[in-house]
Amino acid sequence: MSTSGRRRVVVTGLGAVTPIGNSVPEFWTNLLAGKSGAAPITHFDTSLYDTHFACELKNYKATDFLDRKSSQRMDPFAQFALISCDQAIADAGISLKGEDPDRYGVVFGSGIGGMATYDTQFKNLMAGGPGRISPFFIPMLIPDIASGNISIKHGFKGPNYATVSACATASHAIGDAFRIIQYGDAEVMVCGGSEAPITPMGLGGFNAMRALSTRNDAPEKASRPFDAGRDGFVMGEGGGAVILEELEHAKARGARIYCEMVGIGFTADAHHITAPPEGGDGAVRSMRRSLKDAGITPEEVDYVNVHGTSTPLGDISETQAIKTVFGEHARTMKISSTKSMTGHLLGAAGAVEAIAAILACKNDIVPPTINYEHPDPACDLDYTPNVAAKRVVQYALSNTFGFGGHNATLLVKKYAN
Active site residues: 167, 307, 344
Q: H helices then E strands: how many in the chain?
A: 13, 14
Q: How far, CA to CA in Å, does 409 sit from each of 27, 180, 400?
A: 22, 17, 6
Tell me the helix, strand and coil percentages in the chain, rounded to 5. 40, 20, 40
DSSP-derived 3-state class of residue 306: coil
Phi and psi at 126, nearest 5°, equal: -65, -35
DSSP-derived 3-state class of residue 109: strand
Q: Which helix (H) or strand (E) holds 55?
A: none
DSSP-derived 3-state class of residue 194: strand
Per-residue exposure over 62-98, b if at least 16 CB sit within 10 Å of its own CB, e if not: beebbeeebbebbbbbbbbbbbbbbbbbebbebeeee
Residue 130 C-beta-side C-alpha neighbours within 13 Å? 0
Contact criterion met (CB below 8 Å) for 237 and 197: yes
**CB burial class (10 A; 0-12, 13-18, 19+) of residue 327?**
exposed
Strand partners of residue 161: 107
Return the closest-CA partner of residue 187 out of 133, 244, 239.
Answer: 244
Contact criterion met (CB below 8 Å) for 22 and 194: no
